[in-house]
């Protein structure tokens, strides 16, 4: 079947791998065609309407089961194990204020709903590869991080974007562990932050993002190990010098700044050659840049330098 968007393989809705997304996506197209003259929109609770025909998709792996993806999580604020979903429900995600600060024309603080009223949400099916060697394939919804960067109007001197998670040890018992450098922070270069793949996520599986996955807003940078994809963000800070991030402060030789997925560069304590897709019995080979090399390798001038892969 010919694709309406033939230039990019990930844009073929026919190649969607999940029956649920396929059915939901086609239904959205059909109702959209009749009711909206071609705009494939379906209403969504909470944060507006999201077209459920993904802009990016994954054609070689099945979508991860929703229950698994939303209940097997890393969110150290709520515990250093995977079953944090129940505890994370304690986080109040409305009202939610976001700060834009540092090297910008004007520092701003705004309510997340004011931001969401201004951006067009879209769906993207991405691979997600945790540094611990498990992975999943998830239908995120949200909007490009580049759009937030544009709205922030950074100064020319800004070279990095630092993102910060909420800090509230009364709600998040993990933050009482004083040996961790709370709040969780992550950072990207401005070139990475404005790459079209860098995505701010507000929903998943066609629903508002559950707290376990980083509600109300988290990052997805699918070519990097999952720890770069910071959850429950409250601040975006533009800076000139490369910051030390949460995991770098804890163990920089294990969780470096770049953290691009590469099966050839082992973690100091385990191989990165294979990964366990959640819900599957067999392990599968890990791909360089998690399969997104064609679109991101140019960001890293010397690919022989292992620093980009730590």
Site for ligand MTE, rule CB under 6 A: 73-77, 130, 165, 184, 213, 226-227, 229-232
Which tokens is 235 given?
A: 């601040």
* Whether the Cβ atoms of residue 235 and residue 98 lie closer than 8 Å to each other: yes
Q: Which residue is nearest to ligand MTE (CB)?
A: 226
H or E element, residue 275: strand 274-277
Closer to ligand MTE by Cβ: residue 40 or 213 = 213
> What minimum distance in Å lies between the beta carbon of 227 and ligand MTE?
4
Q: How far is CA 250 from the centre of its chain?
A: 22
* Whether the Cβ atoms of residue 211 and residue 88 lie closer than 8 Å to each other: yes
> What minimum distance in Å lies between the beta carbon of 218 and ligand MTE?
7
Closer to ligand MTE by Cβ: residue 184 or 199 = 184
- Specify which residues 284 forms β-bridges with: 275
Closer to ligand MTE by Cβ: residue 29 or 213 = 213
Closer to ligand MTE by Cβ: residue 154 or 222 = 222
> What minimum distance in Å lies between the beta carbon of 171 and ligand MTE?
13
Burial of 46 (0-12, 13-18, 19+ CB in 10 A): middle
State the Cα–Cα distance between residues 264 and 293, nearest whole angstrom. Answer: 14
> What minimum distance in Å lies between the beta carbon of 242 and ligand MTE?
19
> What minimum distance in Å lies between the beta carbon of 142 and ligand MTE?
13
Closer to ligand MTE by Cβ: residue 13 or 139 = 139
Closer to ligand MTE by Cβ: residue 29 or 126 = 126
Q: What is the CA radius of gyration of the chain?
A: 19
Give the CA count within 13 Å in the CB-facing half-sphere of 204. 29
> What minimum distance in Å lies between the beta carbon of 22 and ligand MTE?
23
* Whether the Cβ atoms of residue 280 and residue 134 lie closer than 8 Å to each other: no
C-beta atoms surrounding 289 within 10 Å: 23
């Amino acid at each position: 079947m010919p694709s309406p968007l033939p230039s990019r393989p990930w844009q073929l809705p026919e190649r969607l791998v999940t029956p649920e997304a396929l059915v939901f996506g086609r239904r959205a197209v059909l109702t959209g065609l009749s009711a909206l003259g071609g705009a494939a929109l379906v209403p969504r609770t909470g944060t507006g309407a999201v077209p459920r025909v993904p802009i990016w998709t994954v054609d070689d792996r099945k979508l991860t089961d929703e229950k698994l993806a939303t209940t097997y999580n890393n969110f150290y604020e709520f515990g250093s194990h995977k079953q944090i979903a129940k505890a994370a429900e304690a986080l109040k995600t409305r009202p939610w204020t976001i700060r834009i600060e540092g090297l910008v024309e004007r520092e701003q603080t705004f309510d997340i709903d004011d931001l969401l009223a201004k951006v067009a949400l879209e769906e993207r099916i991405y691979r997600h590869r945790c540094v611990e060697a498990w992975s999943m394939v998830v239908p995120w919804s949200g909007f490009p991080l580049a759009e937030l960067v544009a709205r922030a109007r950074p100064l020319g001197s800004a070279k990095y974007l630092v993102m910060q998670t909420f800090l509230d040890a009364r709600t998040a018992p993990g933050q009482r562990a004083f040996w961790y450098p709370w709040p969780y922070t992550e950072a990207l270069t401005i070139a990475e932050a404005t790459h079209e793949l860098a995505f701010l996520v507000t929903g998943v599986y066609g629903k508002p993002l559950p707290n376990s996955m980083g509600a109300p807003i988290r990052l997805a940078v699918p070519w990097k190990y999952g720890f770069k994809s910071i959850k429950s963000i409250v601040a975006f800070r533009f800076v000139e010098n490369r910051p030390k991030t949460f995991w770098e402060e804890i163990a920089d030789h294990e969780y470096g700044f770049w953290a691009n997925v590469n099966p050839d560069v082992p973690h100091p304590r385990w191989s990165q050659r294979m990964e366990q897709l959640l819900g599957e019995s067999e392990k599968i080979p890990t791909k360089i840049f998690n399969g997104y090399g064609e679109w991101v390798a140019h960001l890293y001038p010397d690919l022989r330098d292992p620093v980009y892969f730590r």
